[in-house]
Amino acid sequence: MTRENQILTVEVTDSHGSTFSLREVCEHGDCHAEFVIKLVDYGIIDPVEDQAEARQWEFDTEALNRLQKAIRLQRDLKLNLPGLAVSLDLLDEVQDMRREVNRLNQRLRQLMGE
Amino acid sequence: MDFKDYYAVLGVSESASADEIKKAYRKLARKYHPDVSKEENASDKFKDVGEAYEVLKDPEKRAEYDQLRKYGARDDGSFQPPPGWQSASGFSGGGYTEADASQFSEFFEQMFGGRGAGGFAGSGFGGGGFRQSMKMRGDDVHAKRSLSLEEAFHGCEQQVSFIVQEMDDRGRVVPRRKTLKVKIPAGVREGQNIRLKGQGAPGVGGGEPGDLFLEVELAPHPHFTVEGRDIVVTLPVAPWEAALGASVTVPTVGGKVNVKVPKGSTSGRKLRLKGKGLPGKHPGDEIVVLQVAMPEQHSSEAEKLYEQLAELEKNFNPRSKLHV
């Protein structure tokens, strides 16, 4: 049985984007820092600013999403790091192209006055 | 309870070899992985495939399942396990693999005792698997929300509902529906992830709660399209407005504005309205693309004027680019 609870109103306080430290992304991703460092080495995710020391890294929400996606793909499909890098890049490209196609279709419909 | 035909789920025959089963699983796992697939219900299909493989890859479980399949299935597709059924190879006594058994079906649970031994289920697909520590952070929850362009432009309040798993005082994992009213700020973009700190699944044993991430999608608008922070609109103008210049009313998401169409404009000419795009720290612009529109019918007086125009402009070849 599913329990219900009262409705809370919450406000977005970090609409300009929040960042996460290395420790925080590890907590969110339930993974080791070594794994995150490897993903950064392979260019799969990037810290917001290029800092030499991993302790100073900050990641944005996009990088955290990519990390979580990488963890799921690795766990479920047994991808290695180069495989992850290629897959994530291609998935991004597919998503960008889907958006572009939608946008162009929409523009086309508007131009044709449909 | 419905009987689950694991062979059908993997698309293999009852006599399939372990290799064939592995191959079928790998192919379907790639096809239905929720991060890869755009198919509807990909997440459910992925779970079914994982569950089927969990049973069929293990010779002991497969043998038990084959027996059940023979004796337990009824003609109407429903299923009752034989009286006194207990799995010898079951999950209940530990022995979790990397698969997250808490995500499996009721059928699986009845057969192999899936959700045993205090395993804390993750929310969303995949989830967490078996965890040892009793103090842990709650899972993050990811949700998508489609907004109209007006809602994204002005900001809005959206009700978001999702199921989180939490432990009751007796240590059992129970689902709870959590409903939030989220105040979305003005100027969110397509694909942007809004983070609501601490609004995901509750933590266990004093662990911090997870976060809620709300991914914004923009519903198509009949007149406007969005490019990054810019908003594009096609603006029809009369031939004389384009030729002579005119002050015309232009729609923007924030309301109507007056714009001067420069003299001698042609179709496709772009006018940029600074700061009339999506609001934010660096607000976007509205890009107005002119499109010369013709009346559907002309009066005989207008036709005479066109004849004069044709005479005056006879050197103009609109098809010069086509070399004709």
Q: Residue type for B23, please?
A: K
Q: What is the pLDDT of residue B117?
A: 38
Q: Give chain A's mean pLDDT.
A: 87
Segment B198-203 long-range contacts (CB within 8 Å, at least 24 positions apart): B199/A10, B199/B141, B200/B123, B200/B138, B200/B139, B200/B140, B200/B141, B200/B164, B201/B123, B201/B138, B201/B139, B201/B140, B201/B141, B201/B164, B201/B165, B201/B166, B202/B138, B202/B164, B202/B166, B203/B135, B203/B136, B203/B137, B203/B138
Closest chain A residue to B235, measured at CA: A111
Please answer yes or no on whether B195 and A5 come within 8 Å at the CB atom. Answer: no
Average pLDDT over residues A50-75: 90
- What is the pLDDT at residue B74? 61
Q: Give the H/E segment covering residue B224.
A: strand B224-227
CB atoms within 10 A of CB A18: 19
DSSP-derived 3-state class of residue B63: helix
Domain borders along chain A are 19-111
The reply to whether residue A75 touches residue B98, judged by beta carbons under 8 angstroms, is yes
Chain A residues close to B137, C-beta within 8 Å: 27
First to last CA, chain B: 73
Residue B316 DSSP code: -
Residues of B in contact with A68 (CB under 8 A): 140
Q: Torsions phi, psi of B106, nearest 5?
A: -60, -40
Residue A7's pLDDT is 73
B141-218: CATH class: mainly beta
d(CA A73, CA A71): 6
In contact, B271 and B291? CB cutoff 8 Å: no
* Separation CA B115–CA A61 (nearest Å): 32
B9 versus B94: the higher-pLDDT residue is: B9
- Decide if A110 and B211 are in contact by the 8 Å CB cutoff: no
Average pLDDT over residues A78-93: 93
Check whether B22 has a pLDDT greater than 80. Answer: yes
Residue with tokens 């569950």: B51
Query: Does pLDDT of B5 surpass 80?
Result: yes
- Residue-level pLDDT at B25: 95
Residue corresponding to tokens 């963890």: A71
Residue of higher predicted confidence among B130 and B206: B206
Residue numbers in B near A62 (CB within 8 A): 193
**What ipTM, to 2 d.p.?**
0.81
The CATH number that domain A19-111 falls under is 1.10.1660.10
Q: What is the pLDDT of residues B56-78, one digit of tens each?
A: 999 999 998 888 887 766 666 66
**Is A12 in Cβ contact with B193 (below 8 Å)?**
no
How confident is the model at residue B76, as a pLDDT?
65
Q: Where in chain B is the domain with CATH 1.10.287.110?
A: 6-112
Comparing CA positions, the residue from A102, A27, A21, A103 lying closest to residue A55 is A21
pLDDT digits over B200-258, tens only? Answer: 988 888 888 999 999 999 999 999 999 989 999 999 999 999 999 999 999 999 999 99
Tell me which residues of chain B, numbers 233 to 262, contact chain A at a CB-CB cutoff of 8 Å.
234
pLDDT for B87 equals: 66
pLDDT of residue A112: 82
pLDDT band at B82 (very low <50, low <70, confident <90, very high): low
State the nearest Cα–Cα gap between B79 and chain A, in angstroms: 22
Of B46, B195, B234, the CB nearest to A61: B195
Q: Does the pTM of the predicted model rise above 0.90?
A: no
pLDDT tens digits along B134-184 = 678 888 898 999 999 999 999 999 999 998 887 777 878 888 898 999 999
Partner residue facing B195 (CB), from A18, A91, A110:
A18
Which residue of chain B has the CA closest to A103? Answer: B225
Interchain contact, B196 vs A99, CB within 8 Å: no
Cβ pairs bridging A and B (under 8 Å):
110
Which tokens is B235 given? 């603006």
To the nearest whole number, what is the mean pLDDT of chain B? 85
Start-end of CATH 2.60.260.20 domains in chain B: 141-218, 224-322
Q: Tell whether domain B224-322 is in CATH 3.30.2270.10.
A: no
CB-based contact, A10 to chain B, within 8 Å: yes
B272-294 mean pLDDT = 94
pLDDT for the residue numbered B310 = 95
Select from A101, A98, A97, A104 the least CA-distant residue to B232: A104
Q: What is the amino acid identity at position B122? A: G
Of the candidates B216, B103, B221, B102, which has an alpha carbon nearest to the alpha carbon of residue B160?
B216
Cβ atoms of B23 and B31 within 8 Å: the answer is no
Q: Which residues contact A27 (CB under 8 A, 6 or more apart)?
A: B137, B208
The model's pLDDT over A6-46, given as tens digits with 9 standing for 90+, comes to 677 777 766 556 789 999 999 999 899 999 999 999 999 99
Q: Residue B94 — pLDDT band, cuts 50, 70, 90?
A: very low
What share of chain A has pLDDT > 70, as a percent?
Answer: 89
Tell me the sheet residues that pair with B173. Answer: B167
Judge: B176–A99 Cβ closer than 8 Å, yes or no: no
Rounded CA-CA distance B44/B144 in Å is: 17
> So what CATH class is B6-112?
mainly alpha
Contacts of A18 in chain B (CB under 8 A): 195, 197
Q: Specify the pLDDT at position A17.
A: 67
